[in-house]
Structure 1
Amino acid sequence: MAKSISITPVSGLSRLPWRAYLEMTKPKVVALMLLTVLVGMCLALPGAVPLQPLIAGMAGIAMMAGAAAAMNHLIDRRIDGLMARTYNRPLPKGKVPVSHAATFAALLALIGFVCLYWLVNPLTAWLTLASLLGYAVVYTAYLKRATPQNIVIGGLAGAMPPLLGWTAVTNDFHGHGLLLVIIIFAWTPPHFWALAIHRKADYAKVDIPMLPVTHGVEFTKTCIFLYTVLLALACLLPVLVGMSGALYLLGSTLLSIGFIYKAWQLKYHETPGMAMDVFRFSIYHLMLLFILLLIDHYI
């Protein structure tokens, strides 16, 4: 009797609705994105970041990013239910009704936009809205199903966060902020194509024209390798314009060499699970790269 009582609350907690709504916002992805937002804020100013744009900017951008993720869940709910990676998401499993998911995404986007518009500045609010629409509508609803270059073109929306951080504290569309966008823009294809190789059968099953499905795995490996070289060049841009110094140059060079080596292994010496190794390495690469930018800025 005591045993059954102790188990029931735990299973009940695991089914709490808020967990499903939180999952729809892709919190891990948003957390990495917020790191790039923070770095964009810090690099935009020589001193400390003012408290109001820091807190309101991070909160508003996080809410709108979460709304974009929820819209992605909503639009992709049919194919998510057919793919091994995503079949257990809240909408395919019926944990959240479609109407509730749509309302949740709309409210989150609205609150985030109002927060940015009134507490930060209109420029950041409109740029963040453009990023949301670029990801949720242009990429998810159209490009993803239309072309194998989907992630290349659509990756621009996902590359915007550091620029959003920059504009949040300066109210200025500056070229140095765009350099940070270029880095993430170059990083996105090798990051996502590695995952697409691992999940090629899934994408083929639901007729999504990811590069490994339309052009083959070997061609995709070549593209990943070439993009890691392009990314290495993009990572040098902050040094070339004087945004960053020796510490960042050394650290980013080592990270670039590591990514290129991983891509070279995938292309010429692949072992089982190598594509996912490259995918995971790419996440740490971006995270450490932006931490280096931050540390270098204050040293």
Structure 2
Amino acid sequence: MTAQTPSLSTAGWRDYYELTKPRVVMLMILTSVIGMLLAVPGMVPLDVLLLGNLGIALCAGSAAAVNHLVDRHIDLKMARTHNRPIARGRVEPHKALLFALLLGCAGMTILITFINPLTAWLTLASLLGYAVVYTMFLKRATPQNIVIGGIAGAAPPLLGWVAVTGDWHGHGLLLVLIIFAWTPPHFWALAVHRRDDYANADIPMLPVTHGVAYTKLHILLYTFVLFAVTLLPFATGMLGWLYLLGAVVLGIGFIYWAIEMLRDKNPDAGMETFRYSIIYLMALFCIMLLDHYLIAV
């Protein structure tokens, strides 16, 4: 696909809403909410639940808007992203930057004022990790971009945990580790499907630099790593048998799709694996919550 000339038009609220990557933010907030609920034996105070996740969501939306802004030129070269608001000229860059700053400042103000400073600074570190370190540097510098940069996207359950407790805990870090291990097979499955897009945009994703077969093998290897990591909440006594059963069943499903990609018999295996990975993460965290309230407590 060749780059297209942006078509200027008036921005609507839907364009600004799209800048925040709402579906990605919703998945992040799901893990943040569950991180909050897992941090305490009972119910999280309503003000912390609402304001904490609002602050985290606003900061995540700010980082997403910066991603749209920085990637506007390469977005035009990719079928998946060529119609994004800044790339197509519906939102001017300076307005997008102002929008991102307003979201980020609002989110930080809420977290510092109503939650606690540690949550605010960890959220800021996550925002900068995604918007600056990953988007501006790692994405264009190394095929390990999604592995190294994945730590920023893995932070929400820890942010939720700290919002409730005001402190670190090893169990909260385990939740981060799960998402950190999940990110490479999740994103590389999409990257295999969109390899030509990334090659056209000159982005060194693993399928572009090392080939599709190499990437599929590493998807399988990381899926095994993920399977092992998801057993840790049971092994450490954080969660019980219900979680263990769910983690094993869901993990076997992920391994099945990774093998299906490696077998190279199904041309849609990449997107099907990518879709399953999203369902996998949502289901895994929901099972954590069920175990926490029905079994572990």
The answer to whether structure 1 residue 93 and structure 2 residue 88 are counterparts is yes
The answer to whether structure 1 residue 208 and structure 2 residue 212 are counterparts is no
1:19 to 14, 18, 26: 14
The answer to whether structure 1 residue 58 and structure 2 residue 53 are counterparts is yes
Structure 2 residue matching 1:48: 3-state secondary structure: coil
Query: Which segments of structure 1 move beyond 6 Å, counting only runs of 4 or more?
Result: none
How far does the alpha carbon of each residue in 1:189-215 deviate from its partner, in whole angstroms, 9 at most, with x for none? Answer: 000000000111111111110000000
Q: What one-letter code is carried by the residue in structure 2 that aligns with 1:270?
A: K
How far does the alpha carbon of each residue in 1:139-166 deviate from its partner, in whole angstroms, 9 at most, with x for none? Answer: 0000000000000000000000000000
Which residue matches 1:270?
Answer: 265
Structure 2 residue matching 1:49: 3-state secondary structure: coil
Structure number, greater radius of gyration? 1
2:39 and 2:164 in contact (8 A); partners too: yes
Q: Work out the CA distance in 2 between the residues paired with 1:73 and 1:59.
A: 21
Structure 1 alignment gaps of length 5 or more: 1-14
1:68 to 46, 60, 63: 63
Deviation at 1:270, TM superposition (A): 3.0
Q: What one-letter code is carried by the residue in structure 2 that aligns with 1:110?
A: C
- Superposition RMSD on alpha carbons, in Å? 1.1
Overall identity of the aligned pairs, in %: 62
Q: What one-letter code is carried by the residue in structure 1 that aligns with 2:45?
A: P
Which residue matches 1:129?
Answer: 124
Which residue matches 1:286?
Answer: 281
Q: Work out the CA distance in 2 between the residues paired with 1:297 and 1:33.
A: 20
Which residue matches 2:134?
Answer: 139
Which residue matches 1:163?
Answer: 158
Structure 1 residue matching 2:78: 3-state secondary structure: coil
Q: Work out the CA distance in 2 between the residues paired with 1:75 and 1:194.
A: 24
Q: Work out the CA distance in 2 between the residues paired with 1:116 and 1:238.
A: 28
Q: Work out the CA distance in 2 between the residues paired with 1:62 and 1:83.
A: 27
2:173 to 158, 169, 178: 178
Q: Work out the CA distance in 1 between the residues paired with 2:246 and 2:11.
A: 43
Give the TM-score normalised by structure 1. Answer: 0.94
How far does the alpha carbon of each residue in 1:253-286 deviate from its partner, in whole angstroms, 9 at most, with x for none? Answer: 0000000011001101431111000000000000
Which residue matches 1:31?
Answer: 26
How far does the alpha carbon of each residue in 1:53-72 deviate from its partner, in whole angstroms, 9 at most, with x for none? Answer: 11110100000000000000
Structure 1 residue matching 2:143: 3-state secondary structure: coil
1:237 to 213, 232, 241: 232
Which residue matches 1:7?
Answer: none
2:11 and 2:91 in contact (8 A); partners too: no
Deviation at 1:17, TM superposition (A): 1.0
Q: Work out the CA distance in 1 between the residues paired with 2:240 and 2:170.
A: 18
Give the TM-score normalised by structure 2. Answer: 0.95
Q: Work out the CA distance in 2 between the residues paired with 1:174 and 1:81.
A: 43
Q: What one-letter code is carried by the residue in structure 2 that aligns with 1:251?
A: G
Aligned residues: 286
Which residue matches 2:43?
Answer: 48
Deviation at 1:22, TM superposition (A): 0.2
2:11 and 2:90 in contact (8 A); partners too: no
Structure 2 alignment gaps of length 5 or more: 1-9
**What pairs up with 1:214-229 in 2 under 5 angstroms?**
214-229=209-224
How far does the alpha carbon of each residue in 1:192-245 deviate from its partner, in whole angstroms, 9 at most, with x for none? Answer: 000000111111111110000000000000000000000001111110111111
Q: Work out the CA distance in 2 between the residues paired with 1:295 and 1:64.
A: 28
Q: Work out the CA distance in 2 between the residues paired with 1:214 and 1:82.
A: 18
